[in-house]
Amino acid sequence: MSRQVLVVRGGALPRSSGLGRAHHDLVDRLSEQQVEGYTLSSVIEHDLGGGAFARWRRRRNGHPLRVAEAGSSSDNAILHITDQEQAHLVPENCDLPVSVTIHDLFHLEPRRIQTSHGRVNIGERSPGILRRQDLSHIRRGLARADLLICISEATADEARELWPEKAIAVVPHGIDVGGFDPYCYPLPKPEGLDHSNVNLLCVGSEEPRKRIDFLVEVLGCLPSHLKGDVILHKVGAESSKKSKSKLSKRAKELGVNLHWIGRLSDIDLCSYYQHCDALLFPSVAEGFGLPPLEAMASGCPVRVSDMPAHNEVSPEEWLLAHDSIDNWVDSILEIASTEGRRQPNKTALKQAQKFTIEQWSKSIAGAWNQL
C-alpha cells in the first residue's frame, strides 16, 4: 500500500521558474505513481499577488495555519515542502514526519567569490529587517524538519555543517531521456539560427553569479578570423534593462555577436540545445545547474565552470577553470574545429543517463523510506 504524500509550498510559482518546475515535476511524478511506495495526497499552495501587507499576512499567518491543520490529518503519511524558502511552513510538533527539499543555501549562508572581474556576491549579504526575520523563520523551520533532501552533494555538505544531527539525503534532479520527451525527440531548427555559424548557447539570467559578462570577455579574445562566425545565443529572463544594455555595449566594443532571446518554452529551448554546437555555463554558484543536464540529454556538449555543485553534473573533461579566459577560448576553438559537431554527442547522452527519472525516483523513495 502506497504512503500518501502531502505536498506543500507557498505561492503557486509557474512551471517556467526554477523552483516552480521542480515542484510541478514532483507533483506530476507522484500523481503518475512513478515513485515506488508513494502517491500524491494533495497539494497546499496559495495564489500569487496582492498588496505587500496581504502577502505578508498570508505568508506569516494564514498559509502556515492551513499547513499545520493539514499536518494533523491521519489521511497523510508524509508532509513534504518543495523548497527551502518555504521551510517556515514546517509545523511545530507536527503529527506527520516532514521533509524539505533544499535547492541551495545561498541566502541562509551568503558568501563572496573572487573572480578576475572582482568579487561576486552570492546570496543576500545585507537583507532588510523583514527579510532578516523571514530568514530566521526559514532557518528555524529547517531545524524542525525530520529530513532535509538536498539536490547536490555540495549543498548536502553545507547542510551537514549547519545541522549535524539532522537526517540528510541527496536526491539530484532527474529528467526523461528515453520517452516522448523534447530532449530526445528531434525538433526543427530554431528560426534564424544559421548552421554556417558556430552557435554557442548560454542559459540563465544576468545575475552576477551566472557571469554572462565573463563569456562576452572570452568571446572577445577569440582570433579575429573566427570571432565573426561565432554567435552567443543568450536564453533566459532579463534581470534588468540596465544589465542587458551594459552587456550589449561591451559585446559591441569587443566585436562579439550576442543574440538575446529571452524566455523560451521547454520545447523551444530543447530545439536550441539540439541545434547549437555547445552550451557554455560559466556560473560560479548553483544549487545543481539544470541547463547542462538538459543540454546533454539533448545530445549537446557542454563546457562548465569547475565549481560546486554543477561540476557534479558534467563529465570531468568538460569542466573548465572558472576564471581562466585562455581555457575557455581554447575550448571554444576545439568546439569550432570539431567535425560533425552538430550530431548528437555520445559523451553528452551517456552522461545524461546518470540522471534519469528512474534514478531520481529510487533516490527520493530511499530518502522518504527513512521517515
**pLDDT tens, 283-297?**
999 999 999 999 999
Mean pLDDT of the 247-271 span: 91
110 near 122, Cβ under 8 Å? yes
Statement: 198-355 belongs to CATH 3.40.640.10: no
The grid coordinates listed for 62 are 494564514
* pLDDT score at 41: 94
Average pLDDT, the chain: 91
Identify which of 74, 41, 60 has the alpha carbon closest to the alpha carbon of residue 131.
60
**Structure-block grid coordinates of residue 327:** 581555457
Q: What is the mean pLDDT of residues 131-138?
A: 92
Q: Is pLDDT of 180 > 60?
A: no
Coil, strand or helix at 334: helix
Nearest of 155, 58, 38, 49 to residue 102 by alpha carbon: 155
Residue 242 has what pLDDT? 82
Q: Whose CA is closest to 105, among 143, 156, 144?
A: 156
Task: Collect all residues with Cβ–Cβ distance below 8 Å to 273 and sequence separation of at least 6.
Answer: 183, 201, 279, 294, 295, 298, 299, 300
Residue 90 to residue 72: CA distance in whole angstroms: 12
d(C-alpha 295, C-alpha 204), whole Å: 13
pLDDT greater than 80 at residue 106: yes
Q: Is the pLDDT of residue 197 over 80?
A: yes
Query: pLDDT by residue (tens digit) across 77-99?
Result: 899 999 999 999 999 988 899 99
Render 70-82 in DSSP notation, one character per residue. HTT-TT-SEEEES
Taking the C-alpha atoms of residue 66 and residue 173, their distance in angstroms, rounded to an integer, is 29
What pLDDT, on the 0 to 100 scale, is given for residue 182? 63
pTM of the prediction? 0.91
328 three-class SS? helix
How far is the C-alpha of 302 from the C-alpha of 152, rounded, in Å?
A: 19
pLDDT grade for 326, boundaries at 50, 70 and 90: very high
Give 344's DSSP letter. P
- Tell me the C-alpha distance between 312 and 298, whole Å: 18
Residue 223 burial (10 A CB sphere; 0-12, 13-18, 19+): exposed
Phi first, then psi: give them for residue 165, nearest 5 degrees.
-95, 0
d(CA 263, CA 203): 9
Please give the pLDDT value at position 178. 59
**Domain 3-174+356-368 indexed as CATH 3.40.50.1980:** no
Specify the pLDDT at position 271: 93
Model confidence over 200-229: pLDDT tens digits? 999 988 888 999 999 999 999 999 989 999
Cα 1 from chain centroid (whole Å): 33
Quick one: pLDDT at residue 45? 93
What are the C-alpha distances in Å from 10 to residues 72, 85, 166, 199, 315? 19, 9, 24, 39, 35
> Which sequence spans correspond to the domains of the chain?
3-174+356-368, 198-355
Residue 239 has pLDDT above 70, yes or no: no
- The predicted pLDDT at position 83 comes to 96
Q: How many CB atoms lie within 10 A of CB 121?
A: 16
Residue 362 burial by CB count (10 A; 0-12/13-18/19+): exposed, middle or buried? middle
| The domains spanning 3-174+356-368 and 198-355 adopt the same CATH topology | yes
Contact 230, 336 (CB under 8 A): yes
The alpha helices in the chain, defined as continuous H runs, are: 18-31, 52-57, 63-70, 129-144, 153-162, 212-220, 224-227, 241-254, 266-275, 290-297, 325-337, 346-352, 357-368
CB 35, CB 361: distance < 8 Å:
yes
262 band by pLDDT with thresholds 50, 70 and 90: confident
pLDDT in the model for residue 179? 55
Three-state DSSP class for residue 235:
strand
Q: Does residue 140 have a pLDDT over 70?
A: yes
- Are residues 31 and 358 in contact, defined by beta-carbon separation less than 8 angstroms? no
- B/e letters for 324-342, b = 16+ CB within 10 Å, e = fewer, are eeebbbebbeebbeeeebe
Q: What is the mean pLDDT of residues 8-35?
A: 91
Residue of 181, 173, 187, 235 lying closest to 24 (CA atoms): 173
Q: pLDDT tier at 155 (50, 70, 90 boundaries)?
A: very high
User: Which residues, other chains included, contact 127 with Cβ-Cβ below 8 Å and sequence gap of 6+?
Assistant: 107, 135
- The whole-number pLDDT of residue 304 equals 97
